[in-house]
Amino acid sequence: MSSEMGKKLQMAQEHGVADGGFPSRRRNGGRRPSPDEADEEALLNFRKGCRARRDANGKVIESNMCHQCQRNDKGRVVRCAQDCCTKRFCIPCIQRWYPHSTEEAIAEACPFCRGNCNCKACLRLDVPKDLIKLDSDFSEEERLQHSAYLLKFLLPVLKQINQEQMLEKEMEAKNQGLLLSDLKVQEACWGIDERAYCDNCRTSIFDLHRSCPNCSYDLCLVCCREIGEGHLQGSGAEVEVDYIDNGFAYLHGKYFPAKYPEEREALKLNVSTSSEDVVRSIAEWKVNMDGSIPCAPESLGGCGGGILELRTVFSNDQVSNLVKKVEELLQIYKKMDLPILAEQGCSCSIPEGRNDSINSRVINRVRKAASRDDTGDNYLYCPNALDIHNEDLKHFQHHWAKGEPVIVSNVLENTSGLSWEPMVMWRAFRQITNTKHTQHLDVTAIDCLDWAEVDVNIYHFFKGYSEGRFDSCGWPQILKLKDWPPSDAFEEKLPRHGAEFINSLPFKEYTHPFVKKARYKQRNGKREGRKKGKQEDREKGEHEDSHNRYGFLNLAVKLPEDSLKPDMGPKTYIAYGVLQELGRGDSVTKLHCDMSDAVNILTHTADVPLTDEQLNCVNELKKKHAAQDQMEIYHNFQTQKDVMGSQDSASSNESLNQDEKDEPSFTVEKSCCNLSDECGIATANGMEMPQNGKRKRQNPSGGLSRMVKAKTDASDQADQADYKEVTAKIDIETSVNAHGGPADVSKSGTESLANQDLDDCIHSQTSEYEGLEYVDGGALWDIFRKEDVPKLQEYLLKHFKEFRHVHCSPLRQVTHPIHDQTFYLTLEHKRKLKEEYGIEPWTFVQKLGDAVFIPAGCPHQVRNLKSCIKVALDFVSPENVKECLHLTEEFRILPTNHRAKEDKLEIKKMVIHAALKVIQDLKPLTS
C-alpha cells in the first residue's frame, strides 16, 4: 500500500473515534472552509461541495459508515483512493460480498468505482447507457455483407411461403371462376400489435388464411390443405395416462409385490368422451362439392354453418413481390465475399487419426466432445472470448452453418465483474411489501427425483444451493427453481445483471437482443394483443437508443417496433448439482429440443462435494434402485427375496413405514447418513429447513410438502390412500400405444442389465466422473446432431419403459420422444445407444464463464456437476431458419394440451419482416 494510502488510513484512525456534532446546513454563499480545512478535505478526497462531518473544534471527521451495509459499527473500513469518491467498505462486507477482491484492490478502486458494487441501492440503479450499447457500429461494407448473407438463407423459405399462398389463391380463383390475376383477397382487420392463431392446430397466422364471417373461426393454410386431402391433423384426441404415487419409500427402492405387476398392467388408458367427439368431428369435416370449406363443427370450436373466406394480412401480392426483390438484390451482390459454408475446412479442423500433430494454437481453440470414427466433427470450436476479433465471425459461421454447437470460454472476463452470487441476486430482486410478502420470499422449486413442485423459502433454497440438501434417507436433493425470476421481469427486477449478461454475450451480431417490450391487449378473447404496460415503467421511461440494441443477424429483432414479440429471454436456470451421476433425480434438464437457437452462459457455481459417508449411503441406495428396476421394469424376480429383506430392515431402522399421526407434524429417525429433518429435508450440517407447502401430505418418510403440476392433476385427498392416481393427458394417435400397445423392454437389454453385477455397475458409474475436467466443470452437456434424431427417437421408443418420470414411476406411454421432455440418458443408456445405433452426442463440461451455443433442432440434455446459475437467451439465426420451420411443423401435430404445442416463435412472420427490414435498410446504401 502506498505511503499516501497509509497516511490516509492513519488519519482516519486518529479522527474516526472522535465525537462531535454535525455542522448546520448552509446555502451557497455560506461560511467557506479555511485554507487549512480545504487542504484537509482535499487530502481526504471529499467530493467538491460535500458537507464533511466535523468535531467540536471544526476538524473534519471521516465517516466509518460502510457503503455496502450502511453501518458504522463493524470495525475497520477500507477507503477508496479514487478522486471524488468517498465510499468505504467494512472488512466483513468485503469478505462476504467481495471474496475475490483484496483490501488493496478495493483501496485502489472500490466496487462502486469499478461498476460492480452489489449493495442493494446500486443493484437497483438505472443501467448506464454504455452497458446497453453494442461494442461497435457496423461499417457500410459490413452492413451490405451481413444483409446479403441474411437474404441468402431467407430466400428459400420465402419461396416456400409464396408457393403455399399461390396454391391457395389458385384454388380460390378456380372456385370463384376467376383468373388468378383478377382475384382480390379481402384484408383482415388486424393491427400490427396483435397475434392470431389457427383455431385447429394453434399455429400462428401471419398472412393468408381462411376465416368464418359468422364466428371469426380462423384456419391456417396447412389445415385447409389437409382438409382437402382428407387427413386433418393438429387437433388429435386426448388420452389420460395414470401416474401412480407410491409414496416416499417407493422413490428409494421400496417394492409393492401385491400391486405389481397384475394391477399396474391392468391400468388402461382412459379416452375421454370429448376426445372421441373430436375424432368423430374431424373425420366428418370435409370440403363442399363446390370446393369451399365449411366452418368447423361446434365440437371443434366453430359454428358449423358459415363458409371460410380467404383473408390476408399483408397486401395481396406483397410476398410475391418480396421474393422478386430479394432475388434481384442477391443478383446485384452475387460477387460479394460471402462466407464459404462447407466447401473448405477451417484453421481448427483436425483430421481423424492425426491428433498427435495438433499444434498448441489449434488445441486451445477446440474441445473434444465425441469419439466417432465416421465423422470429422468430434472437436467443437471453442474460442476464448478475450481473443475473439472481427475475422472470427466467419469462423463461427463456418461451424454454425454445419449445425455444430460452439463453446466460447471466459465470456465473463469482458464484464465489469458484477457478482452472480445467489444471495446478491436475491437482494437485488427482493422487494417486500405487506401485501406481497409471501410472493417474494417463497418460490416454487422442482424436485428432479419425482418432478414434484415444492414450495420453499428462497433463503433456504439458496442456503441449500451452497451447502447441499438431503432427504431423510440421505439421498442428495436436486432442486431447480421454476421461472425465477420470471423471464419477463428479468431486466426489470435485475437491471444490472441483465445488462451484465448482455454485455458478456459473444458474437453479438447473432445474440444481441431487442429489449424494448411491446404492450398488449386482448381481441375477441382468443387473439393475443397488447398487455397493459406497467405505470412505473412508463414513469421511468426507456432509453432512446433501445431500438439500436440488436444483433444484425438475429431475426428475432427484425419485427416492427410496435409488434408483439416472442419471449426470447434472458432467463435464469438455478439448480443444485453433484459430481456423481445418481441415476435417479440427477437430471436438471431432460432431453428436449428448443424451437430456436440459444446461448447459455454459466455465471456461477458452488461445489457441494459428498463425504465418504454420504457416498456410501448413496451407493447403498443405488443398489436398491437397481434391484427395484430388475423386478419392476425387467421382471427379474430372482433378487426379490434379498431386496425385500433389506428393505424390511431398512424400514425398521429408518422409520419408512411409520404410522400416520393425527397431529400435523412429522417425526423421522436418523437416516443411514445421520441426516434428519422434521420435514424430511436436511442440509449438510443438519440445519432444519422448514417448508411452506401449497398442499401437505403425510407420507411414511415425513417428506416435503409437494404438489405435482406438470402433466398431472393431483387429488387433494392424497392423505387417505397409499396409491394416488394423477392424470396426464397425452395424445393417443401419436403415442407409443398407437404402434401396437405398451412396448416390452428388449430382451437383450433386459438380459444385459439383469445379469450385471450391481456393485460393478455402481462403481463404474461413480468412477466415471473423477477426472479433472469434471471436477473443475459446472454442468455436463449432451447435444445430439440433427441428422441423428431419427435413430435417437427409435432408441427411445424401443427402451422407453426403462426410464422413470413423474413420481419416479416407469414411463408407460410416449407422445413424442423428444418434445415430451421425459427422458434423460444416463451413461449406461448412452453406451447402449452407441452399441445399438452407432451414434453418440457431443458430450462436454461447461465451465464457469463458458457460453454454449445450441443450434435449433439439436436435442440436448444437461446435468449439473455443481450447483449452478446459468442464464440463457434465445435467438434466431439465418442458418437455422429452415430448422425452426421444421420444428414448428412438428409442434403443430402435437396434442392440443402438449407442453410444446404453442407456436410462440412465429417463424414465418419473422422471416417476412426480416426480409422487409433488410430491404429497407439497404435502400440508402444502394441508392
Residues 103-114 pLDDT 10s: 898 998 998 888
Domain residue extents for the chain: 3-25+32-114, 359-414
Each residue's pLDDT tens digit, 312-322: 998 888 899 99
Helix (H, G, I), strand (E, B), or coil: what is residue 871? strand
Residue of 515, 584, 519 whose CA lies nearest to 545: 515
Each residue's pLDDT tens digit, 663-701: 333 223 333 343 333 333 444 433 344 333 343 333 333
Q: Dig out the grid coordinates for 580 from the structure.
A: 456423481
If one compares 614 and 300, the residue with the highest pLDDT of the two is 614
Each residue's pLDDT tens digit, 340-354: 444 455 767 665 555
Question: Residue 713: is its pLDDT beyond 80?
Answer: no
Question: Residue 282: is its pLDDT beyond 80?
Answer: no
Q: How high is the pLDDT of residue 43?
A: 47
pLDDT band at 440 (very low <50, low <70, confident <90, very high): low
Q: What is the DSSP string of 185-229?
A: PEEP---TT-BEE-TTT--EE-S-EEE-TTT--EE-HHHHHHHHH
Sign for the CA dihedral angle at 317, 323, 324, 325 comes to positive
Q: How high is the pLDDT of residue 537?
A: 39
Average per-residue pLDDT in the chain?
74
CB 60 within 8 A of CB 40: yes
Crossing angle between the packed helical segments 612-632 and 758-767, to the nearest 10 degrees = 130
pLDDT band at 733 (very low <50, low <70, confident <90, very high): very low
Crossing angle between the packed helical segments 140-176 and 318-332, to the nearest 10 degrees = 150
The 3-class SS string of 499-528 reads HHHHHHCCCHHHHCCCCCCCCEEEECCCEE
* Radius of gyration of the chain from its Cα atoms, rounded to whole angstroms: 31
Provide the 8-state DSSP code for 572. E
Q: Which residues contact 196 (CB under 8 A, 6 or more apart)?
A: 188, 190, 204, 205, 209, 218, 527
If one compares 395 and 1, the residue with the highest pLDDT of the two is 395
pLDDT band at 132 (very low <50, low <70, confident <90, very high): low
With b meaning 16 or more CB within 10 Å and e meaning fewer, what string describes 596-634? bbbbbbbbbbbebebeeebeebbbbbbbbbbbbbbbbbb
Each residue's pLDDT tens digit, 783-842: 999 999 999 999 999 999 999 988 888 888 898 999 999 999 999 999 999 999 999 999
CB 207 within 8 A of CB 912: yes
Residue of 684, 865, 876, 660 whose CA lies nearest to 780: 865
High-pLDDT (> 70) share of the chain, %: 65
Distance CA 122, CA 89 (A): 14
What is the largest distance, in Å, between two alpha-carbon atoms of the chain? Answer: 104
Write out the H or E segment, with its range, that includes residue 88: strand 88-90
Average pLDDT over residues 581-596: 90
Q: How high is the pLDDT of residue 447?
A: 93
Question: Residue 659: is its pLDDT beyond 60?
Answer: no
Each residue's pLDDT tens digit, 632-642: 877 765 544 45
Each residue's pLDDT tens digit, 493-526: 788 888 889 989 999 999 988 644 433 333 333 4
Each residue's pLDDT tens digit, 734-773: 333 333 333 333 434 334 444 444 454 444 444 455 554 5
Q: How high is the pLDDT of residue 322?
A: 94
Q: How high is the pLDDT of residue 861?
A: 97
Helix (H, G, I), strand (E, B), or coil: what is residue 802? helix
Distance CA 879, CA 846 (A): 24
Question: Residue 51: is its pLDDT beyond 70?
Answer: no
Sign for the CA dihedral angle at 60, 22, 71, 98 comes to negative
High-pLDDT (> 90) share of the chain, %: 30
Q: Which of 25-34, 268-277, 687-696, 854-863 reaches the highest mean pLDDT?
A: 854-863
Question: Residue 238: is its pLDDT beyond 60?
Answer: yes
Question: Cell 430466400 appears where?
Answer: 155
Least confident of 445-454, 510-519, 856-865: 510-519
Q: Dig out the grid coordinates for 633 from the structure.
A: 421394469
Question: Residue 369: is its pLDDT beyond 50?
Answer: yes
Q: Which of 72-86, 258-272, 527-541, 641-655 reaches the highest mean pLDDT?
A: 72-86
Provide the 8-state DSSP code for 739. G
If one compares 240 and 377, the residue with the highest pLDDT of the two is 377
Q: How high is the pLDDT of residue 196?
A: 86
SS3 content of the chain, % helix, strand, coil (to 5): 40, 15, 45
Question: Residue 592: is its pLDDT beyond 60?
Answer: yes
Q: How high is the pLDDT of residue 12?
A: 43
* The Cα angle at residue 872 between residues 133 and 479, in degrees rounded to 5: 145
If one compares 252 and 33, the residue with the highest pLDDT of the two is 252
Least confident of 545-559, 884-898, 905-919: 545-559
If one compares 836 and 239, the residue with the highest pLDDT of the two is 836
Q: Dig out the grid coordinates for 387 from the structure.
A: 481473443
Distance CA 675, CA 678 (A): 10
* The Cα angle at residue 556 between residues 550 and 559, in degrees rounded to 5: 90
Average pLDDT over residues 564-577: 90
Q: Length of the chain in residues, anyone? A: 927
Average pLDDT over residues 261-282: 51
Crossing angle between the packed helical segments 747-754 and 612-632, to the nearest 10 degrees = 140
CB 61 within 8 A of CB 53: yes
